[in-house]
């Protein structure tokens, strides 16, 4: 009788072992036998131009120690009544390759918000406004010789003019600096993004995520100079300071 009980328990143990060994095979069979569930569809929407305007903002340098005119000229304080004037990073990227920069003569009188210099590019002439009142006391000889320096170093070696201004304190009230200048540039980028169709997005980026040189030409190949004048506030509908 004892041997019969041992035999029964041994057979039960074998059955349990067989059942356990078949369990992984059963689970594997069940997984593949069940119909696969389709993944939920993901809607893909094309963002309008203004939706990616914040991506543009980071491409344009806005140094905190400079003052900016809404027409995209900058001012650096050099003394009580002396300033250095240049072209913003946005301005040179908007226009693209420059043929020549026509600077005013030493001794010329500038008026804040009035045309002060002219950019020759692609057969078109685009004026820029003076950010201050005053007398031109120096022009950058490197820029007069070759405009490339403006694009390579718009806030340093590519400076344009030195101006002595008796109205500097009043002029500075019409300029933007620090966080105000940054917010202004963000607004400029929103305007630029709103004017670009989604199909144009691929044309403004080079390989590696850098902006092309000449954003205005991406907006309007034939009338890019009109686009530039609109941003520089020198077209007929522009708002001069």
Domains of the chain: 51-232 (2.40.50.100)
Non-local CB neighbours of 224 within 8 Å, separated by 6+ positions = 96, 122, 124, 214, 216, 217
CA–CA separation, 160 and 21 (whole Å): 84
Region 134-146: what's the mean pLDDT?
Answer: 95
In this structure, what are the phi and psi dihedrals at residue 79, rounded to the nearest 5 degrees?
180, -165
Q: What is the pLDDT of residue 18?
A: 55
Signed CA dihedral, 66, 67, 68, 73: sign only: negative
20 vs 145, which has greater pLDDT? 145
CA–CA separation, 54 and 165 (whole Å): 36
Q: Is the pLDDT of residue 144 over 90?
A: no
Task: Give the range among 25-39, 58-72, 74-88 with minimum mean pLDDT.
Answer: 25-39
CA–CA separation, 181 and 69 (whole Å): 9
198 vs 175, which has greater pLDDT? 175
Task: Give the range among 70-74, 88-92, 234-238 with minimum mean pLDDT.
Answer: 234-238
pTM of the model: 0.73
Number of neighbours of residue 1 by Cβ within 10 angstroms: 5
Q: What is the pLDDT of residue 48?
A: 43
In tens, the pLDDT along 194-234 reads: 776 554 554 554 444 556 678 888 778 788 899 999 999 99
Task: Give the range among 47-51, 99-103, 184-188 with minimum mean pLDDT.
Answer: 47-51
Place of tokens 């170093």: 153
Q: What is the pLDDT of residue 199?
A: 47
Non-local CB neighbours of 14 within 8 Å, separated by 6+ positions = none
- Half-sphere exposure (Cβ direction) of 129: Cα atoms closer than 13 Å: 24
From edge to edge, which strands make up the β-sheet containing 109-110? 109-110, 134-139, 161-164, 82-87, 73-77, 67-68, 176-177
From edge to edge, which strands make up the β-sheet containing 124-129? 100-102, 115-121, 124-129
* Percentage of residues in the chain having pLDDT higher than 70: 66
Q: What is the pLDDT of residue 8?
A: 54
Q: What is the pLDDT of residue 89?
A: 94
Q: What is the pLDDT of residue 161?
A: 97
Q: Is the pLDDT of residue 59 over 60?
A: yes
In tens, the pLDDT along 102-139 reads: 999 999 999 999 999 999 988 899 999 999 999 999 99
User: Can you spell out the DSSP letters for 85-107?
Assistant: EEE-HHHHHHH-S-SEEEPPPTT
Task: Give the range among 42-56, 72-86, 102-116, 190-204 with minimum mean pLDDT.
Answer: 42-56
Q: Is the pLDDT of residue 28 over 70?
A: no
Q: Report whether 110 contacts 163 (CB < 8 A).
A: yes
Q: What is the pLDDT of residue 175?
A: 98
β strands within 109-168, DSSP E: 109-110, 115-121, 124-129, 134-139, 161-164
Region 78-96: what's the mean pLDDT?
Answer: 94
């Amino acid at each position: 009788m004892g041997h019969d009980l041992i035999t029964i328990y041994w057979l039960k143990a074998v059955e349990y072992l067989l059942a356990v060994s078949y369990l992984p095979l059963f689970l594997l069979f069940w997984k593949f036998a069940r119909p696969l569930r389709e993944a939920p569809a993901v809607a893909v929407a094309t963002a309008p131009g203004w939706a990616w305007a914040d991506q543009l903002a980071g491409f344009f340098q806005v140094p905190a120690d400079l003052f900016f005119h809404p027409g995209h000229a900058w001012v650096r304080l050099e003394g009580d009544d002396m300033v250095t004037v240049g072209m913003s990073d946005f301005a040179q990227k908007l226009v693209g390759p420059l043929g020549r920069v026509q600077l005013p003569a030493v001794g010329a009188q500038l008026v804040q918000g009035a045309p002060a210099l002219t950019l020759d590019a692609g057969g078109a002439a685009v004026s820029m406004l003076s950010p201050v009142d005053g007398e031109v006391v120096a022009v950058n000889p490197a820029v007069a010789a070759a405009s490339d320096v403006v694009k390579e170093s718009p806030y340093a070696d590519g400076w344009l003019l030195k101006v002595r201004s008796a109205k500097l304190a009043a002029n500075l009230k019409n300029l933007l600096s620090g966080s105000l200048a940054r917010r202004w540039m963000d607004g400029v980028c929103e305007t630029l993004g709103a004017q670009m169709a989604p199909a144009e997005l691929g044309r403004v980026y080079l390989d590696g995520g850098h902006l092309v040189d000449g954003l205005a030409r991406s907006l309007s190949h034939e009338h890019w100079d009109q686009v530039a004048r609109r941003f520089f506030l020198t077209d007929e509908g522009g708002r001069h300071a």
